[in-house]
Amino acid sequence: MTEAFTTGTPKGRFAPSPTGPLHFGSLIAAVASYLDARARQGEWLVRIEDLDLPRQMPGAASLILRTLEQYGFEWDGEVLYQSQRDAYYQDALQTLSTHGLLYPCGCSRKEIADSATHGIDGLVYPGTCRHGLSPGKNARAWRIRVDDQPISFHDAVQGEIGQVLSRDIGDFILKRADGLFAYQLAVVVDDEMQGITHIVRGADLLDSTPRQIFLQHALGYATPEYLHVPVAANAAGEKLSKQTLAQPLDSRDTTKDLWDVLAFLRQSPPIDLLKENHAYLWQWALQHWQPNSIPRQRAITV
Ligand code: GLU
């Protein structure tokens, strides 16, 4: 935490990827980030993370925004679209390159799979191209050189989290072989440029946070506060997502859906709230927001 954060307006954000309509799982992150920001009299921003064009569903971004409105969310300022921000990501890459932290990688997926070990979040890149491309290899992706300094942070729900990037993750990609900037870079640049002080999101991103803190340090950015809420999982233990065929929210009973999110987050919403409109429910939720009651779990089956 830096000084600026204790004096300025708190700022939170919701940053959906427009791969499909909002579902119960995404509503949890939206509600938690909203209540966390508003309960601090802070601002709440919406950012559409539409970098990964191949994974997008046409029309999903406007559908998500419309759904947020139907549920009574009110965001501050303009919605930011990552697809329009390549120049900023390129600048950040340039800075990292100047610091000697960036290098081109010519390895194919297969070459990596054949030689890598398993880490916390997939394969640990074995560092093949760290000291230069082998003859005959072309740059495919751009990676950042990580180190063996432990990175730890305090998460408001999940407690102390630590990683050693060289051991747990490896040198990770910032610009992909298909030319797209990686989520890890874009999210760090945007959170800094938008002045986000409080990041509230699903615990599926907990293991990404040390990478993001590493990038913040390398770029001279401040590190925000973090709160990772449990994700909703199905009976098979899979996170609710488009891939696991989570049902889109239908906005027919917004109060009920929001009530269910509050119950999921163990905010103990009274049953009588179900008879009210969502504006009333929001008022209650804001007055009774208790982040300390959120279970210290990465996933909860719904
Ligand atoms: N766009 C990411 C997602 O939808 C969230 C990124 C974040 O909150 O940092 O999973």
> How far does the centroid of ligand 1 lie from the alpha carbon of residue 214, in Å?
18
Rg, Å, the chain Cα set: 20
Pocket test for ligand 1, best of 187, 188, 198, 206 (most atoms within 8 A of CB): 187
pLDDT of 3 reads 42
Cα-Cα-Cα-Cα dihedral sign, residues 74, 78, 81, 87: negative
The mean per-residue pLDDT over the stretch 189-202 comes to 98
Query: In this predicted model, what pLDDT tens digit does every residue of 123-174 receive, in sequence order?
Result: 999 999 999 998 889 999 999 999 999 999 999 999 999 999 999 999 999 9
Query: From ligand 1's centre to the CA of 280, what distance in Å?
Result: 28
DSSP 151: E
Q: Is ligand 1 within 6 A of the CB of residue 187?
A: yes
Specify the ligand 1 atom closest to the Cα of 208: 9
Q: What value does the mean pLDDT of the chain take?
A: 94
- Residue 15 in contact with ligand 1 by CB distance below 6 A: yes
CA-CA distance, 236 to 70, in Å (whole number)?
31
Q: Is 80 in the pocket of ligand 1 (CB under 6 A)?
A: no
Confidence of residue 7 (pLDDT cuts 50, 70, 90): low
Q: Which atom of ligand 1 is nearest to the CA of 49?
A: 1
Other CB atoms within a 10 A radius of the CB of residue 229 amount to 27
pTM score, two decimals? 0.95
Domain 11-85+196-205+226-301 has CATH 3.40.50.620: yes
Compute, in angstroms, the gap from residue 25 CA to the centroid of ligand 1. 12
**Strands annotated E in the chain:** 11-14, 43-48, 80-81, 102-105, 117-119, 122-124, 141-144, 150-155, 159-164, 173-175, 198-202, 225-229, 231-233, 299-301
Is 175 a pocket residue for ligand 1 (Cβ < 6 Å)? Answer: no
Atom of ligand 1 nearest to the CA of 212: 9
